[in-house]
Amino acid sequence: MIRPKRLQKGDTVGVVAPASPPDLKHLHQAIPFLNQQLGLQVKIGAHVSSKYGYLAGKEQERIEDLHHMFLDPEIDGIICAGGGYGTGRLVTEIDYSIIKENPKVFWGYSDITFLHTAIRQQTGLVTFHGPMLSSDVGIENFDEVSKSMFQQLFKPTAIHYTEVKSPLHIHAEGEATGEVVGGNLSLLVNSIGTPFEIDTKGKLLLVEDVGEEPYRIDSFFNQLKMAGKFNEAIGIIIGDFSQTTPVKTKETLSLSQVFDHYFTSMNKPVLSGFKIGHCLPHYAVPLGTMATLSSTKKSLVVDAGVN
């Protein structure tokens, strides 16, 4: 495990767009938060405003920005502008030795899940599953709780999540301690059968998603189950699943029924209700650090992500 160096006021963060083109208006509306509230300087990647269909530039352009930010000694951390689609197209071409030799804060979520998984499994670097600039920070209703999550980058801070933050539901009893891995459910499923397949053995698996109907979530869970990912994990952290209502009126299972089908018979802790994912407030957590998930305490405690 490699924890990146903590940020300090006056440090410079680089902004990259490794997936879809970000909303540039929202991106620029997010910069004052970094400057004025966090005390950071900002350097925007050369290709962040590029477009190639539904991608923020061609593969080489997006990889070039990512490599440059890790290589540049003036850049102390890297924050993704947004998600969408495209990081899975980069992972076979990234030079992971650059990242391993220049470990830095790397922050994002959603489609960035593919990069989180690839970077961690190739280098051991702890990365951060947290709100992004264009898709979150730059929107009008981005809240103070979500803003406060960036403070964990400046001081080693354990994340203590209990029902004080949101109601939690127990699907299976137990307590387990292990490394936190995972992120966006559909991206985790996309990794199966690739050289970057999510490794859940002995780990706490975090899953979240947005805009997927219950039958789709069911199919994703079934894929992870058949691939052995649930059995190998020592606990399941179910984050936020929003916008799950079927588009057309039809017979369906509820999300809780889907959760219960896959998790109630497990002999390991499984809890849902964590506001981690496409939601507000959005609680950011480091991936690759140790954590404890407990049904008895109804809590998740995640070790600090920075040195």
Strands (E) located in 243-277: 270-272
Tokens 């497990």 correspond to: 266
- Of 97, 115, 143, the last residue of a domain is 143
- 212 shares its domain with 263: yes
The pLDDT score that the predictor gives to residue 242 is 87
In a domain, 270, yes or no: yes
Tokens 């406060």 correspond to: 148
- 173 shares its domain with 211: yes
- 131 shares its domain with 182: no
The pLDDT score that the predictor gives to residue 249 is 61
Q: Which CATH number belongs to the domain containing residue 191 in this structure?
A: 3.50.30.60
Q: Which of 110, 146, 191, 299 is catalytic?
A: 110
Q: Does residue 61 carry a catalytic annotation?
A: no
Expressed as residue numbers, the domain containing 129 is 12-143
Tell me how far apart the alpha carbons of residues 137 and 133 are, in angstroms, rounded to a whole number.
5
- Of 143, 171, 188, the last residue of a domain is 143
DSSP H or E run through 176: strand 175-184
In a domain, 164, yes or no: yes
In a domain, 261, yes or no: yes
In a domain, 3, yes or no: no
- 201 shares its domain with 297: yes
Q: What is the pLDDT along the chain (307 residues), one digit of tens a residue?
A: 999 999 999 999 999 999 999 999 999 999 999 999 999 999 999 999 999 999 999 999 999 999 999 999 999 999 999 999 999 999 999 999 999 999 999 999 999 999 999 999 999 999 999 999 999 999 999 999 999 999 999 999 999 999 999 999 999 999 999 999 999 999 999 999 999 999 999 999 999 999 999 999 999 999 999 999 999 999 999 999 988 877 766 788 999 999 999 999 999 999 999 999 999 999 999 999 999 999 999 999 999 999 9
The pLDDT score that the predictor gives to residue 71 is 98
Domains held by the chain: number = 2
In a domain, 2, yes or no: no
- 38 shares its domain with 69: yes
What is the pairing mode between strands 299-302 and 290-294? antiparallel
In a domain, 7, yes or no: no
Tokens of 87: 């990081």
| CA dihedral over 267, 158, 107, 95, signed as positive or negative | negative
Please write down the HEC assignment for all residues of the chain. Answer: CECCCCCCCCCEEEEECCCCCCCHHHHHHHHHHHHHHCCCEEEECCCCCCCECCECCCHHHHHHHHHHHHHCCCCCEEEECCCCCCHHHCCCCCCHHHHHHCCCEEEECHHHHHHHHHHHHHHCECEEECCCHHHHHCCCCCCHHHHHHHHHHCCCCCEEECCCCCCCEEEECCEEEEEEEEEEHHHHHHHCCCCCCCCCCCCEEEEEEECCCHHHHHHHHHHHHHCCHHHHCCEEEEEEEECCCCCCCCCCCCHHHHHHHHHCCCCCCEEECCCCCCCCCCCCEEECCEEEEECCCCEEEECCCCC
Listed in sequence order, the residues at least 6 apart from 100 whose beta carbon sits closer than 8 Å to its beta carbon are 2, 122, 123, 124, 125
Contact 101, 95 (CB under 8 A): no
Q: Which of 278, 282, 294, 295 is catalytic?
A: 278
Contact 71, 100 (CB under 8 A): no
Tokens of 132: 């992004």
Q: Does residue 49 carry a catalytic annotation?
A: no
Q: Rounded to two decimals, what is the model's pTM?
A: 0.96
Q: Which CATH number belongs to the domain containing residue 114 in this structure?
A: 3.40.50.10740
In a domain, 135, yes or no: yes
Tokens of 137: 């920070």
Tokens 């004052």 correspond to: 32
Q: Which of 129, 135, 191, 208 is catalytic?
A: 208
The pLDDT score that the predictor gives to residue 251 is 82
Q: Does residue 278 carry a catalytic annotation?
A: yes
